[in-house]
């Protein structure tokens, strides 16, 4: 279709104003060569609000009582949400065949927390649920307490994820044996089964919202694939720092195949697995201290006081994802 000839031009100053406002809101960063992209994506919003300039639209986004609702629309317009089941399957094999096996060999509480950050329309967290459902049939993983969190900044894609209905394009890389987790619905779509839905909690979440992210439970594994490519260096560092703080010691961070932590963080270890290379948070190291006992040789003992929390800290309950969602 032809672009509306009445759409106003966007000046460099208007582009910078809108770009900064969007960046401050969610970390999306646009170089100056994206001025046409921003103008084209937002032009219908000017038409909808009967505005004649992008400066007026900027003022609306900054001061109007309904600005938050409009910003949610803006984020939907500016982000690409193309995804499908079993995307980057080699990494999923590393997750199910290597990472989970290692976690199972070390864990004693049989609790597993996995976060799909920037989950879009939900194919990734449901894929994780399928893999875990398969593993939970084995004795090693039987009776595990599993929670999967899927989060995104777009309300629209989260609506699709919660509904759980997908067209054929979403299944293009999914092995035939897993189709049993879906059933046919109208409009040539398939709907995810209730047993998978019960394993996943979806939440609206801004990855730059350090305070809100800090309320989540610690994670064993975080998937954040093909998301940080939309951020500039400063926003990327904030997101990665948030991930590091939220991961348990020896927890894993899985990025997209075109993403890395180069020039972003040295806090993670790069781990070479059979199927992929992934990032791992270092484990807790207990420093050794010299203890001199009367009439005896010096002994070296672990400084347990460095790692054992006090009783009050141990008794604190984590805020569950479902509680946070209800509060939201």
Rounded to whole angstroms, the Cα distance separating 220 from 308 reads 20
> Do the domain assignments include residue 230?
yes
The answer to whether residues 143 and 56 touch, using CB atoms and an 8 Å cutoff, is: no
204: domain CATH number? 3.40.50.150
243 in the same domain as 147: yes
Give every CB contact of residue 67 below 8 A, 6+ residues apart in sequence. 60, 61
Residue 132 clears pLDDT 90, i.e. is over it: yes
Residue 30 clears pLDDT 70, i.e. is over it: yes
196 in the same domain as 319: no
Rounded to whole angstroms, the Cα distance separating 103 from 140 reads 11
| Tokens found for residue 303 | 């400084």
268 in the same domain as 297: no
> Do the domain assignments include residue 7?
no
Residue 196 clears pLDDT 60, i.e. is over it: yes
**179 vs 322, more confident:** 179
> Do the domain assignments include residue 132?
yes
- Measured CA angle at 144 (ends 143, 146), to 5 deg: 135
Radius of gyration over every alpha carbon of the chain, rounded to an integer in angstroms = 23
Domain count, the chain: 3
188 in the same domain as 48: no
Rounded to whole angstroms, the Cα distance separating 315 from 296 reads 38
How sure is the predictor about 124, in pLDDT bands with cuts at 50, 70 and 90?
A: very high
122 in the same domain as 36: no
Tell whether pTM > 0.85. no
The answer to whether residues 83 and 209 touch, using CB atoms and an 8 Å cutoff, is: no
> Do the domain assignments include residue 6?
no
CA-closest candidate to residue 115, choices 218, 192, 35, 23: 218
> Do the domain assignments include residue 3?
no
Rounded to whole angstroms, the Cα distance separating 196 from 201 reads 10
How sure is the predictor about 261, in pLDDT bands with cuts at 50, 70 and 90?
A: very high
48: domain CATH number? 1.10.155
58-104 per-position pLDDT tens digit? 999 999 999 988 988 888 888 766 789 999 999 999 999 999 999 99
Rounded to whole angstroms, the Cα distance separating 129 from 146 reads 9
Would you state the pLDDT for residue 284?
A: 74
118 in the same domain as 35: no
Write out the residue range of the structural domain in which residue 54 sits: 12-78
131 in the same domain as 110: yes
322 in the same domain as 275: no
């Amino acid at each position: 279709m032809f672009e509306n000839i009445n759409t106003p031009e966007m000046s460099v100053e208007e582009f910078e104003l809108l770009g900064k406002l969007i960046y401050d809101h969610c970390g999306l960063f646009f170089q100056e060569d994206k001025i046409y992209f921003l103008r084209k994506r937002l032009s219908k919003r000017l038409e909808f609000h009967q505005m004649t300039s992008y400066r007026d639209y900027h003022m609306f986004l900054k001061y109007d009582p309904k600005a938050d609702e409009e910003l949610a629309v803006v984020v939907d317009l500016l982000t690409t949400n193309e995804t499908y089941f079993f995307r980057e399957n080699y990494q999923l094999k590393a997750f199910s065949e290597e990472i989970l096996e290692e976690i199972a060999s070390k864990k004693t509480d049989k609790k597993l927390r996995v976060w799909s950050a920037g989950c879009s329309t939900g194919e990734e967290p449901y894929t994780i649920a399928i893999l875990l459902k398969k593993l939970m049939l084995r004795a090693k993983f039987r009776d595990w307490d599993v929670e999967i969190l899927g989060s995104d900044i777009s309300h629209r894609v989260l609506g699709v994820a919660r509904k759980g209905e997908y067209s054929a394009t979403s299944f293009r890389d999914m092995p035939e044996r897993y189709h049993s987790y879906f059933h046919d619905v109208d409009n040539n779509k398939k709907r995810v089964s209730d047993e998978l839905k019960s394993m996943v909690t979806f939440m609206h979440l801004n990855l730059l919202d350090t305070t809100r992210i800090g309320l989540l439970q610690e994670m064993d594994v975080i998937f954040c694939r093909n998301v940080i490519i939309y951020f500039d260096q400063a926003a990327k560092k904030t997101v990665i720092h948030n991930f590091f703080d939220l991961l348990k010691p020896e927890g894993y961070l899985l990025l997209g195949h075109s993403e890395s932590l180069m020039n972003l963080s040295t806090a993670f270890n790069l781990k070479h697995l059979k199927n992929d290379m992934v990032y791992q948070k270092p484990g807790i190291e207990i420093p050794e201290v010299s203890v001199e006992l009367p009439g005896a040789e010096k002994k070296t003992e672990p400084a347990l006081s460095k790692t054992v929390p006090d009783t009050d800290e141990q008794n604190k309950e984590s805020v569950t994802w479902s509680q946070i969602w209800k509060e939201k």
